[in-house]
Amino acid sequence: MISTRLANQILSSSGQRIEDLVQEINRTLQPVVFDVRGVEVSTRLRRFEALETENVLALIEGSDPKLKDEVLIISAHYDHLGTDPTIKGDQIFNGAADDGTGAVATLELADAFMRAKKDGYGPRRSILFINFTGEERGLLGSAYYTGREPVLPLAKTVANINMDGIGGFDPRHPAKSKNYIYIIGSPPLSQELQNINTRVNEVTSIKLELDYGKNYASDQFHFEKQFIPFIYYSTGLTEHYHRPSDHPETIAYDHMARVVRLILATAWQVANQDARPASIDRSLLTADGYVCPPCPYECDAAVYEQPGVCPVCGMNLVPDLKPKR
């Protein structure tokens, strides 16, 4: 239940290292016993009670009789960290940037597509808008949707557009820009989505600085695990990230509006073009066991034969899909 780094710190006085112990135990199949002297470890525990929570979904049915069975998912997460009574002063984690901005953008995009439909320009494909729950507890809402109860077939899901924190600025941005957006895909799985995004950024004259390549874990992970094309938008970790100071007045609203216009243009193209974005034929995939989603513990590498929950961290296991041999 602790990291290898912390374990090695605890073992340092004994001259032992976790990596060496693992090799020795694997070689002999016997426990290695020794004393660890002069070490004191202190920690603080918070107990989390079990809760029932919900993903929030809304569907706009496509207007094209041949394409409406296909679905584009636009998502964000609406949960945050709650409160911490051990903090002096403000104890409420408001989560304005992370991910109030994404949740608000999901609602605005749904409103824009619905108004277009009422005006006779509805999307050809269906669009499912999801505000996921439990992202801050280990991507739980998206794990549940993709791994246990998708309301529409994953085989008909053409792409996921996910947003997590699109209203701030990363103080570690190399150029200290105020006109950028980080974008994550997984080439070749998401290359066409990235190409669409780059093209509409120019055609619409939004002209944000598109910064590809950052890697932040969010709900798009579970669509990637299902080999569904995805594109993820974020302005990165602000100075208020996971702090009570993540207030609405810290949001850069003009910049956020430009980002949402780019996302709208990309979603519009995906929802209306003749061909769905290139993806892997799901009939060619097989579940090679079940694995734990990313979490703070080092149980991600374990593979289990049956679905269920991880015995280490308690998270729902997800299928480890791989191409059939």
Does residue 48 form part of some domain? Answer: no
* pLDDT at site 294: 65
Do 259 and 308 lie in a common domain? Answer: no
Specify whether 142 is located in the same domain as 182.
Answer: yes
Q: Does residue 71 belong to any structural domain of this protein?
A: yes
Does one domain contain both 257 and 311? no
**One-letter-per-residue 3-state SS of the chain:** CCCHHHHHHHHHHHCCCHHHHHHHHHHHCCCCCCCCCCCCCCCCCCCCCCCCCCCEEEEECCCCCCCCCCEEEEEEECCCCEECCCCCCCCEECCHHHHHHHHHHHHHHHHHHHHHHHCCCCCCCEEEEEEECCHHHCCHHHHHHHHCCCCCCHHHEEEEEEECCCCCCCCCCCCCCCCEEEEECCCCCCHHHHHHHHHHHHHCCCCCEEEECCCCCCCHHHHHHCCCCEEEEECCCCCCCCCCCCCHHHCCHHHHHHHHHHHHHHHHHHHHCCCCCCCCCHHHEEEEEEECCCCCCCCCCCEECCCCECCCCCCECEEEEEECC
138 found inside a domain: yes
pLDDT at residue 130, as a whole number: 98
Tell me, what's the pLDDT at 296?
60
Q: Can you give the pLDDT at residue 78?
A: 97
Q: Would you say residue 191 lies in a domain?
A: yes
| Ordered per-residue pLDDT tens for the chain, 325 residues | 678 888 999 999 899 999 999 999 989 999 999 999 889 888 887 776 777 899 999 999 999 999 999 999 999 999 999 998 888 899 999 999 999 999 999 999 999 999 999 999 999 999 999 999 999 988 889 989 998 889 999 999 999 999 999 999 999 998 999 999 999 988 778 899 999 999 999 999 999 999 987 778 899 989 988 889 999 999 999 999 999 999 999 999 999 999 999 999 999 999 999 999 988 777 777 878 888 776 666 676 788 888 777 877 777 777 787 777 7
Q: Same structural domain for residues 206 and 68?
A: yes
Residue 148 located in a structural domain: yes
Tell me how many domains the chain contains. 3
Q: Is residue 27 located within the same domain as residue 171?
A: no
Considering the entire predicted model, what is its pTM? 0.81
Is 218 found in the same domain as 77?
Answer: yes
Q: Which domain holds residue 5?
A: 1-43
The pLDDT value given to residue 166: 96
Q: For residue 277, tell me if it sits in a domain.
A: no
Q: Is the domain of 27 the same as that of 65?
A: no
* Among 251, 272, 293, residue at a domain's last position: 272
What is the structure's pLDDT at 117? 97
pLDDT at 189: 84
- 84 located within any domain: yes
